[in-house]
Structure 1
């Protein structure tokens, strides 16, 4: 696996919490946990992750779940986004690794337009944004909105902000009115990213269109 991709994968793997932010401003920020867990290599025959976001008071009912394939190029780390049927079966997999064995490629459906593209801005610090095109559609109040998401990631922090916009008017429809969510790393899962896990057959340089 290319060195930059290995470094990014280890950075992404972890448990993050905004507990400190929620304590400072409990009126505007709920306590949330984010998990990015390395998947068994067999799922994608290459690097992949399971992600889960849940409120601190209700960890077994995550409000967001995803499966992700990591595609590496020399210029960008692409985190593809997949949904799956019966997500309730995977609830809690962020802290119950045995549940990850329930994930199988044939039951995944790619969320087109929703990949995150991460660029290293300074050594060990990445900025991620939804792929260009405004095609990551998220229903809200019965109407589609397109997602604009930004993440700043380093060894200690995960800072993110999600917003939804009307596809016709480009006006803001939802999103935090009080600034980004600020998570701190609670635990790292980088030890799970072994030489076997990082066996990557789809690295093709810097052209994402050639990867597959």
Structure 2
């Protein structure tokens, strides 16, 4: 399957280690200093380009959380990002810093997250991914169903995350990008690790 130049560019821009240190210093009340890893997984796991993502508080680097897989799919020239969760997230804690562990990943370790699909567009030098209208992305966490609104923007050296947890009944944001996007700068590039077959 051929991969478009747009999808290849999007994947390479998204892969890396990112920090929002500047933003957290400017607005410490609203933004925690986070480190965010997005690292390619082997192509054969999903038969397409996909990345492993996790994040951690910069003060406690050894306790990453929110492990997930972002799969890039392309249909009729339209790019979408499909989210997968881990059956055992704890088993993959810290894999964002350990490429060898990610090479052990198989399809049996993950499961699709219903409704967690983003449409990608490009404008003003950035790719923008957002959920379709009326989409609902939910997942289980500590035996409770959680609802999230997903979204991001990415350029060659910046990644902005709009992910936020919401109260299902009211839609009120309860964690994550409540006031504005988390704005990260790329500090390490992992795009050389992307495989295309």
Tell me the TM-score normalized by structure 2.
Answer: 0.85
Q: Is the 8 A contact 1:144 1:167 kept in 2?
A: no
Q: Find out whether 1:134 has 2:135 as its counterpart.
A: yes
Partner of 2:5: 3
- Residue equivalent to 1:33: 35
Instruction: Encode CA deviations 1:66-96: one digit per residue, 9 max, x unaligned.
Output: 0222102354321211111222221111111
| Equivalent residue, structure 2, for 1:103 | 105
The answer to whether the 8 A contact 2:49-2:71 is kept is: yes
Look up the SS of the partner of 2:47 in the other structure. coil
- Aligned-residue RMSD, C-alpha: 2.4
How far apart in 2 are the matches of 1:141 and 1:177? 22
In structure 2, the residue matched to 1:49 is: 51
Within the candidate set 177, 185, 198, 2:196 is matched to 198
- 5 Å-filtered alignment, 1:128-207, equals 128-137=129-138, 144=145, 146-168=147-169, 170-175=170-175, 176-193=177-194, 197-199=195-197
1:68 aligns with 2:70: yes
Higher strand share: 2
Q: 1:141 to 1:165 in 2, by over 3 A?
A: farther
Q: Which has the larger radius of gyration?
A: 1
